[in-house]
Structure 1
């Protein structure tokens, strides 16, 4: 109960980054438990990266990292707002063209189809948060041809417009290329976390997207249940 309550206060923003937690002796008195129990809770919070412990100074809430659910489709705007930061978005480029060999490989296409290729940058609190490289199968989603992705991010638009029947996530660590480094305002070759996702509808492959995050500002979370 102690762990979940403190964790909830941190994740909800009630205890924001930099907030100093009550001292262990005060928490023990508040919860009516031993100081050893509180110490174990604080150790777990520190291992989870939610707090930083400083001898004599106390324990402080760390800057939270964005969390993505590995097994769910999520919207980047929601990620950013969960951090309590203002969200920003910029479409860098858009190309409407016939599908090519790379499209067919990424989307497992069996025939030629019109394609939309997008490059976008998402911001959190005015800073670069994520680079989005996306390909949309306009043969399955013809409405995307007329969509204005300078105003609305394609991820949220697709989730709202196209019922998906299957999805696949692939997660890997990569070094930032020159272009990615420039967009993320990171040194070339710096560590990045990359999430590649494909989705399908009953009509066929819908989209392939590659989301690249600075490696020190994002983590992935998955929750499992035992098989019955």
Structure 2
């Protein structure tokens, strides 16, 4: 990685070579850090994100996560938006990374700073059955509410994921009676259609 700094009264130009691509950074008069390549701008926070564990978690780079953790990387570190690697891996469906993070101390019930969603909310909403089971097996609380007053069951119901709905109802049947801020039960997010019939049976007939 090569870099140089040149100073003027209004801006700083930084040029660095990273992963065979040159990025040019400018600190503008308003003191915002920004980079421009061919009219495309990227903040320094975005560069930091791309090089951190969150990016590895999203894209399923299991060896990269193992390396990060083996060097003492913090499994619960948050990015600028308040998300941990587990939040990203759970939503992306990267099971091995979720397991590795949990084995190394990731907090399964940690909510995001914005939205207060847990890894269980995110996995349930995307229909990742194995990850939902993994989280529940490691004491994820299915009754926690996000900022919209939703449980993981609301998320699974709105995403039409019957297997996850069954798992959650079996774990905490009282979730069926939770009303969110839209004054809806989880069952209110499904209708009696051919596509949603299995989820409908679980939430309306059980």
TM-score over 0.5 for the alignment?
no
TM-score by length of 2: 0.26
- Looking at secondary structure, tell me which structure has more helix per residue: 2
- Looking at secondary structure, tell me which structure has more strand per residue: 1
Higher relative contact order (CA 8 A, sep 6+): 1
